[in-house]
Amino acid sequence: MWPFSSSKSAALPARKLDDQFSVAGQLRVDQLPLVVEAGYKTIVCARPDNEESGQPAFRDIAAAAKALGLLAVHIPISAGLGETQVKAMKKALHDLPGPYYGYCRSGARAGSLYASAKRG
């Protein structure tokens, strides 16, 4: 659907939803410098840890992001988007600087999370 790839390319995969939020599939630690170069300030992970074999743990992404000056928030969605996740996203959008780079397996959950938080 979207041009997301797990290959190690120089381009940062992202689909811009608006001026403040972009979505993508799984983010890797080695892509974090590209996130910084693209001007993002906060990473939003909507993917639960251990969803798929070989998936980087959020704690590893967050630690590497912090070392680069990026903020990171984990709002995992596994069984459907609920009120708890929407409230957490609203708080993140209020408290953390944008623009935001949201990711999950395909970008769909991160996008739904953002859209739901903006609606309410």
- Per-residue pLDDT of 60-84, as tens digits, reads 999 999 999 999 999 999 988 999 9
Tell me which residue has tokens 């974090």.
32
Distances (CA, A) of 33 to 4, 89, 116: 18, 24, 29
| Global pTM value | 0.89
| Residue 79 pLDDT | 86
Reply yes or no: is the peptide bond before residue 76 cis, omega within 30 of 0.
no
Strands 100-103 and 42-45: parallel
CB 27 within 8 A of CB 60: no
**Digit-coded pLDDT (tens) for 83-115:** 999 999 999 999 999 999 999 999 999 999 999
Q: Is 22 exposed, middle or buried (0-12, 13-18, 19+ CB in 10 A)?
A: buried
Domains of the chain: 15-119 (3.90.190.10)
